[in-house]
Amino acid sequence: MSVYIVLVNYNGWRDTVECLESLFRCAYTDFRVLVCDNGSSDGSLEKIADWAEGKLGATPERGGEGGAQERPLLYARYRRDQAEAGGDPAEKASLVLIDCGGNLGFAGGNNVGLRYVLAMDDFRYAWLLNNDTVVEPDALGHLVQRLAEAPQGGLCGSTLLHYHDRATVQALGGGWYCKWLGLAWHLGRFSRWPRAVDREKVERQMSYPVGASIMITRRFLAEVGLMCEDYFLYFEELDWVLRAERRFALLYAPQSVVYHKVGATVGTSSNPARKSALCDYWNARNRLFFTRRWYPEAFPTVYLALCCTLLARVLLFRWDRVPQLVRLLVGRDR
């Protein structure tokens, strides 16, 4: 059963190379990796190709990440149109580099990879993984095992730990969403690891799997379709789950451990004072957009909550964020 791992890269080749090093140390070896480059301006594809050829080594932000991957690796390169058409049927490279031709966002970049994957006869699972992650050697195997033992499953999340503080949980598989506020909370956030986990309880509480690590079945993609590209960043996972209309179970593989740098590429942070303007905009924009699409009855309370967010930006003296929030609230930028 082949797994196709999809990474989206945007000006982050160092993170991507470190992630690749960890992936090629996985104990489960029936996989291929796709790197979908979203129009990077730092020569990312060339750097990653150099790494595959053995000309460039990984430089982990933390020491002791394990031995270097044996190289050279067989790799292939495609333009977006070539990849979406399935590439060369005779090509069996373990690493596929795809030039998306521009910044398509989180969903758009992943969808380029998924269109390639859907053309593969041996595809059974796709693992969408953030490029700013490092995985444990058994992380992939535990995801495959969890989906294999639960035929009703469609999406499966991992245990996400903070890369720089590996005893702190970012999320246990997924998060819980409050439609009345338009806000989500990662399950188990800031708890300590290792810890006892009630997997079934987590799966009952989960509204969505966290997008930093999601494994998807072929059947889910065939019946539900690709990710919605209307969001660019944030809320894609929730939209995917709602489109599935409860036809598939949300699963969690506790022992699939992934260390996440938390927004190294796009500037995401749990601290409002550190969150990039780009992320702040898309988060606020999509709170309104998602609510209008799926929960129109909750739009008034979400709008009020976003007014409170605007007030918080003022209190934090984040004056650069105020104009874009005002434009969203008055309906001039949707």
- The pLDDT value recorded for residue 286 is 96
- The pLDDT value recorded for residue 56 is 85
Strands 75-79 and 95-99: parallel
Q: Looking up tokens 């998306």, which residue turns up? A: 100
- The pLDDT value recorded for residue 61 is 73
* Side chain identity at residue 232, one-letter code: F
- The pLDDT value recorded for residue 182 is 97
In b/e form, how buried is each residue of 307-327, taking b as 16+ CB within 10 angstroms?
Answer: eebbeebeeeebeebeebbee
Residue ranges of domains in the chain: 2-260, 277-329
CA angle 169, 140, 223 (to 5 degrees): 100
C-alpha distances in Å from residue 19, one per residue of 12, 60, 221, 237, 311: 11, 9, 25, 22, 38
- The pLDDT value recorded for residue 63 is 55
pTM: 0.92
Distant-in-sequence, close-in-space partners of 137: CB < 8 Å, separation ≥ 6: 22, 25, 26, 27
* Side chain identity at residue 211, one-letter code: G
pLDDT profile of the chain (334 residues), mean per 10: 93 97 97 98 97 86 62 93 93 96 97 97 97 98 98 98 97 98 97 96 98 98 97 95 96 99 57 64 94 98 94 86 88 67
- The pLDDT value recorded for residue 262 is 80
- The pLDDT value recorded for residue 271 is 45
Task: Say if domain 2-260 classifies as CATH 1.10.8.870.
Answer: no
